[in-house]
Amino acid sequence: MIKNSKQRAYLKSLAMDLDAIIRVGHEGVTPEFVSAVDEALASRELIKISVLKSCEDDVKSVASTTAERTRSDLVQVIGRKFVLYREGKDEKKKIVLP
């Protein structure tokens, strides 16, 4: 869990270099999409997701719904992209928050 703005700023700085690895299309937030995001968070902890123009849903609503369904933290929304973070298990932890 992100506890303060310093941690959020740290995650934003890490996310600057990330490419979007998952895209949301016209179908929106489907169970398959949630499953793919869940797997990506389990292996990477911090991911960037792109919302295509064909998606009719609002980017912020897609981001908050995805974060809620994957039990992750929404780090930021910029344009049509958003960043999610979920802390890894102790033995698999890759990112140490300040």
Cβ atoms of 57 and 75 closer than 8 Å? no
d(CA 12, CA 8): 6
pLDDT reported for residue 13 = 95
Q: How confident is the model at residue 96 (pLDDT cuts 50, 70, 90)?
A: confident
The sign of the torsion formed by the CA atoms of 25, 29, 33, 37 equals positive
Domain membership flag for residue 82: yes
Structure confidence by residue, pLDDT tens digits, 71-90 = 999 999 999 999 999 998 76
**CATH number for the domain harbouring residue 30:** 3.30.110.60
Domain membership flag for residue 75: yes
Domain membership flag for residue 67: yes
Cβ atoms of 16 and 45 closer than 8 Å? no
pLDDT reported for residue 97 = 84
Return the minimum-mean-pLDDT range out of 3-12, 32-41, 83-92.
Answer: 83-92
Domain membership flag for residue 57: yes
Cβ atoms of 70 and 34 closer than 8 Å? yes
Find the domain containing 20 and state its range: 5-88
- pLDDT (mean) for 31-58: 94
Residue 12 tokens read as 């934003």
Q: Tally the domains of the chain.
A: 1
Domain membership flag for residue 97: no
